[in-house]
Structure 1
């Protein structure tokens, strides 16, 4: 099949019959070699690539969105996509562009296409070739094909936006006011003749001449416009690669199709995943896809999720609410497989709250993918991506990167000159799963078929940013799984709701997971996805739905069905008790509880409290019996901490030989709340929002250890949670200051009010919280509008509620500033779609702050400086990585560079204060190492270096810093 035409061997080459003037127009130039590419050739290349992309790479789910508003459906959609890719650079046939290379401009002048010299063309930047192309396309459609001018804009904007930013109305007016940018005065007719000749040839080659009349009254949806823009960008980037599409004069006589076929083989993109719907029973499907522990049974929520997915008239939104440890992730992947087969999706994105949760999920997705069949007779490779800023440090992902690396110079990261690394051993990972070389970088990476990433990668879809259409193209072809949906604040939820509205307009299937989702939030998710299609009565029913576990389905036509699901039978009764916030009291209580041994988890809301508590408890129980876990470790140590927690406190079948036989206390921050399958005999927790407390309780007696927990110490066979971190003697209780700064008073007081019945023992079950029965009622009471707590608390709680309402209103307002609008009516062009945006959406601390209501903080790479001036890697790093000497007069070897990059550390909140931040940056820049900024320094270029002395101490911006692999970073104000 021809990539442009459907099976027409007699079609002439693109350039056949073109005038000498049209042949003289150039599109690409290489200053180093003086090679060049005429515009007609780049047009032909781009159209060919678009045909390959459509036929071999683009998911059916995307094609349907483009096709739904066209008379001949998918056939028309393919023609339109290829034609737009072929014509996208027509704006280069303009003097504002052509004057840039004097030798090529002279060749055009020689055939009559006059233009001013570059230095005299002072206004030329007002007419970038994308904008000029939009204007030419619109004018040509009006003059040649009788379109109304308003209708041309929905097509023209795709040409205008192919460099990542659709023009604004102001841009269009500026070009109208400067016609000399498009045609040189005095030879306007010749310029017009050439422009129309090229556009006419594009229409002939793409076989759209007859269709254009029928498309005059078509109203392209905004989602279709965004997807076509994204597809044109991808086609342009591939066709602009000189290694794949060589420049003239070397390639002057190459045949159109031979050239394109050769380039496509050279690019070697993994082809489209074509999922087949699993046909067995839920139990059979789960057994074939997941490595389940021996003797385990399918949970009711897992079985019902698959049944619900199969019974929906079309894939839509599914919200799965179920207790911690119920296998929601496996349920979501099974549903995603069904949804993908039915919708025509070509991949899956799993979005999680943090990099740590993403790293934990990535190998689980890889294991699932190895078991998922494909409709293709000979399934090939599948492209995968771990999407966060430190993915290169993940060993699983690094192996796939090596498997997907090829030595193609021009296959860059983002369609421009780029950071690329040599090919390596391809035997390091299974050949069928690769991180393909071309599908990397912050703009193209999401085009991979299977992605695990932080929630930011999804929220960027709602952010006004350059090349936003690429992210929409990437996500519109996938099933999206959103884990830990309760973990986001008003600011992030505003972005998530906007993203869900676009996903709904693309008919992208979405699965949302949570153990502790407020009912009001459940309604917001359904309403955002379904938009105007859902009835108010159905939304009310969603908000009022009782039962837990609960599965809520939202179909594309707006039908909504919340359905309670039977519990699995896994139940735990937890005795709740308040504990005075005093370290001496804590020490005495733990001495009592651990008289017969046992493993305790103490969760503090701040790292400072973690370190203070650990230091005190070590004095009582010994250093070897107390360990800490928090986010203030360098990446290598943080990963080792997580691995050690899983090794010692994970499921019985994995931790039996390593679990402490005596007594051990882990003092942790909120990192212990999510995605770590760890199990303790006793829990002590600071007061926190009730949904987070329930997540923490999910680490208490998480697994059965012996009959009736007989393998646990006798005193700890009853699950107990001691709640501290507040002054319980005041009315209402007063949380410690650090907790208030993080969670705010309203959430903490509502949580304390809901817990009061259990802590005081005055509830119907005394001090006992029954899981899972009490999870949903506790969450709904805490996040609802009803009165909770004793009457004496109400005045303080009302003030906290008013302050919270104001805070959330400010968050919502701030979130709107850089947020794209909801999809507008069909036919409305994406004019100014990302106007006044943020530029590029970066997965950096600053970039993530665009979709999170957080202050910018500093990330540093931590090394040690010896007294003799030599720098080394940090002492104590595992696997013989510590204490290695680092060259400062040359680029470190890749292994050394990777170790240093693995010592990344985010400095704490003290360094987010503007004046402290500025001072810290100034001081850190004194550690600038020129050799490390080389383009060959993949791991270290552009990073700030924090140098510790021989005692692993330093002073920064008025604070004393100390780092140990045992406790991480300690920060105190310098005296």
Structure 2
């Protein structure tokens, strides 16, 4: 926010003057956030800050953008420094971690990968399976879990479509099992953890065997970082550092992004094709030695022709397929520049964003039951775990500490969804009568629908309206503690 054109932006920036500012996981930012980040780094340097940028998979061109100075070293890992008033960067090769070789298999058949995951887990290995979409992860988890129980294998699922309560519980459980805490019990049984991009970063998990849906090179390298992560991790004797990647045929992928399935809606088809070109002939990767070469091979600017020229044009200028619109890099850059501190009138914090998304997210509160008790002028809310909390209709009925505790409890029952996946909007006046405006921001105009969505989860895990009716539309909405929020097309 310090670099953006928001109220009190200068005060925020001044508060950072002379400080040490650390920016982590910079490779994960798209061009919108990256443009804002460039401006922030420049501003921080002008304010006499020391800026430390961390990334495991940053391309050379991106380093030059952040430094505003040329770089040339291809060492990995690498420390690059630009002292105050210096015109050229200093590049210092760092001591690399112990080298490890991961054997690669590019697999086109999901069925073969499913069997391999079960075989490995039956041997006692800890298997990690990463998908690019929540729906994909849920589908794989359900297939594996249905067969794993009879084999003595434990399966888990991690993605963003859980309530905060269940996501934190799942993360704590599986980080303990796949991390250092789980070493004493690691060899007791095989396990399979299925998930999405949430597994790529910030979780210290160490798998024996990895299966990944194909993704851009930097994402694949992040996923490989969750494989044989620690030298001291105890492993079954048959375990080897191996990864399977689920890929389409390269020619099919270049001819049509549909070959990538739902992944083409998550990542740029051009970047996916460039990545596949870089990986298709590999049967092993040496880490960290091969990281720099793979990144540069994937992202180096080059002339294209044929279908690849078309996908490159879409990356730069955007595309429209059916009802799905993808904003191009040039428009994203312009949108980001419009938010910077040099642009026009200042805006409120809620009017700007540090990240661009073509899909807004919708907060949805999931409950088992909600009843207004008129005699007590309060609302009884039954949470998914069966606990009941009481929400007074009048604010003075609870102390500030009591409201904070209640707010934290209810916020943990929220799941964030795309509006198209969320239950229908509720009447704002009705939610205010239930006292929910004391906890959640419902919007400004009484005539508008509430910004908060609410659904009840019945005994069959199906979502209903506040009146217990089935949600409208052609899909059923379900929520399970182990599966998360799932959309199922109704049978005719």
Q: TM-score, normalised by structure 1?
A: 0.44
CA distance in 2: counterparts of 1:811 and 1:608, whole angstroms: 27
Which string of whole-angstrom CA distances, capped at 9 and with x for unpartnered residues, describes residues 58-114 of structure 1? xxxxxxxxxxxxxxxxxxxxxxxxxxxxxxxxxxxxxxxxxxxxxxxxxxxxxxxxx
Q: 1:645 to 1:591 in 2, by over 3 A?
A: closer
Q: Does 1:511 align with 2:52?
A: yes
Q: Does 1:714 align with 2:237?
A: yes
Q: Does 1:966 align with 2:482?
A: yes
Secondary structure of the structure 2 residue equivalent to 1:856: coil
CA distance in 2: counterparts of 1:732 and 1:835, whole angstroms: 42
Q: Does 1:692 align with 2:219?
A: yes
Secondary structure of the structure 2 residue equivalent to 1:627: strand
Q: 1:704 to 1:884 in 2, by over 3 A?
A: same
Q: Does 1:567 align with 2:95?
A: yes
Alignment-derived partner of residue 447 in structure 2: none
What is the correspondence of 1:564-963 to structure 2 with a 5 Å cutoff?
A: 564-582=92-110, 584-622=111-149, 625-651=154-180, 654-659=181-186, 661-705=188-232, 711-716=234-239, 718-727=240-249, 730=252, 732=254, 735-758=259-282, 767-786=283-302, 795-806=306-317, 807-821=328-342, 835-837=344-346, 839-842=347-350, 847-848=352-353, 851-865=355-369, 871-876=380-385, 882-887=386-391, 889=393, 893-894=402-403, 895-908=405-418, 910-911=420-421, 920-921=424-425, 923=426, 925=428, 928-930=431-433, 932-933=435-436, 937=438, 939-940=439-440, 942=442, 944-951=452-459, 952-955=461-464, 956=471, 958=473, 959-963=475-479
CA distance in 2: counterparts of 1:685 and 1:695, whole angstroms: 11
Alignment-derived partner of residue 493 in structure 1: 34
Deviation at 1:470, TM superposition (A): 1.8
CA distance in 2: counterparts of 1:780 and 1:626, whole angstroms: 36
Q: 1:752 to 1:856 in 2, by over 3 A?
A: same
Deviation at 1:816, TM superposition (A): 2.1
Q: 1:920 to 1:785 in 2, by over 3 A?
A: same
CA distance in 1: counterparts of 2:44 and 2:288, whole angstroms: 32
Structure 1: runs of 5+ lacking an equivalent: 1-459, 528-538, 759-766, 788-792, 822-833, 877-881, 912-916
Q: Does 1:525 align with 2:66?
A: yes
CA distance in 2: counterparts of 1:743 and 1:729, whole angstroms: 18
Deviation at 1:572, TM superposition (A): 1.5
CA distance in 2: counterparts of 1:905 and 1:606, whole angstroms: 16
Mapped contact 2:477–2:487 kept (Cα < 8 A): yes
Deviation at 1:926, TM superposition (A): 6.9
Mapped contact 1:681–1:700 kept (Cα < 8 A): yes
Secondary structure of the structure 1 residue equivalent to 2:383: coil
Q: 1:909 to 1:670 in 2, by over 3 A?
A: farther
CA distance in 1: counterparts of 2:355 and 2:184, whole angstroms: 43
Q: 1:552 to 1:632 in 2, by over 3 A?
A: same
Q: Does 1:469 align with 2:13?
A: no
CA distance in 2: counterparts of 1:660 and 1:969, whole angstroms: 32
CA distance in 2: counterparts of 1:580 and 1:594, whole angstroms: 21
Deviation at 1:671, TM superposition (A): 0.1
Question: Which has a greater percent of helix?
Answer: 1
Deviation at 1:818, TM superposition (A): 2.6
Alignment-derived partner of residue 321 in structure 2: none
Mapped contact 2:253–2:260 kept (Cα < 8 A): no
Mapped contact 1:579–1:724 kept (Cα < 8 A): yes
Which string of whole-angstrom CA distances, capped at 9 and with x for unpartnered residues, describes residues 424-444 of structure 1? xxxxxxxxxxxxxxxxxxxxx
CA distance in 1: counterparts of 2:237 and 2:305, whole angstroms: 41
CA distance in 1: counterparts of 2:452 and 2:436, whole angstroms: 11
Deviation at 1:462, TM superposition (A): 2.5
Q: 1:897 to 1:802 in 2, by over 3 A?
A: closer
CA distance in 2: counterparts of 1:546 and 1:775, whole angstroms: 10
Q: 1:471 to 1:866 in 2, by over 3 A?
A: closer
CA distance in 2: counterparts of 1:588 and 1:647, whole angstroms: 26
Q: 1:954 to 1:723 in 2, by over 3 A?
A: same
Mapped contact 2:339–2:352 kept (Cα < 8 A): no
Alignment-derived partner of residue 11 in structure 1: none
Q: Give the count of matched residue pairs.
A: 450
Secondary structure of the structure 1 residue equivalent to 2:212: strand
CA distance in 2: counterparts of 1:715 and 1:594, whole angstroms: 11
CA distance in 1: counterparts of 2:279 and 2:370, whole angstroms: 52
Q: 1:475 to 1:862 in 2, by over 3 A?
A: farther
Mapped contact 2:117–2:192 kept (Cα < 8 A): no
Mapped contact 1:873–1:900 kept (Cα < 8 A): no
Mapped contact 1:600–1:681 kept (Cα < 8 A): yes
Question: CA RMSD, aligned part only?
Answer: 2.8
Structure 2: runs of 5+ lacking an equivalent: 318-327, 374-378, 443-450, 465-470
Question: Which has a greater percent of strand?
Answer: 2
What is the correspondence of 1:68-83 to structure 2 with a 5 Å cutoff?
A: none
Mapped contact 1:864–1:871 kept (Cα < 8 A): no
Secondary structure of the structure 2 residue equivalent to 1:835: coil
Structure of higher CA gyration radius: 1
Deviation at 1:851, TM superposition (A): 4.0
CA distance in 2: counterparts of 1:724 and 1:660, whole angstroms: 27
Which string of whole-angstrom CA distances, capped at 9 and with x for unpartnered residues, describes residues 573-628 of structure 1? 1011111243x322222233334221101000000001011111112212962110
CA distance in 1: counterparts of 2:247 and 2:456, whole angstroms: 33
Deviation at 1:638, TM superposition (A): 1.4
Mapped contact 2:250–2:277 kept (Cα < 8 A): no
Mapped contact 2:79–2:92 kept (Cα < 8 A): yes
Q: 1:705 to 1:504 in 2, by over 3 A?
A: closer
CA distance in 2: counterparts of 1:812 and 1:853, whole angstroms: 13
Q: 1:524 to 1:924 in 2, by over 3 A?
A: farther
Mapped contact 2:362–2:453 kept (Cα < 8 A): no
Secondary structure of the structure 1 residue equivalent to 2:420: helix
Mapped contact 1:580–1:728 kept (Cα < 8 A): no
Deviation at 1:670, TM superposition (A): 0.2
CA distance in 2: counterparts of 1:599 and 1:927, whole angstroms: 49
Q: 1:667 to 1:737 in 2, by over 3 A?
A: same
Q: Relative CO higher for 1 or 2, CA cutoff 8 Å, sep ≥ 6? A: 2
CA distance in 1: counterparts of 2:73 and 2:357, whole angstroms: 31
Deviation at 1:928, TM superposition (A): 0.5
Secondary structure of the structure 1 residue equivalent to 2:146: helix
Q: 1:883 to 1:847 in 2, by over 3 A?
A: farther
Secondary structure of the structure 2 residue equivalent to 1:567: coil
CA distance in 2: counterparts of 1:609 and 1:864, whole angstroms: 27
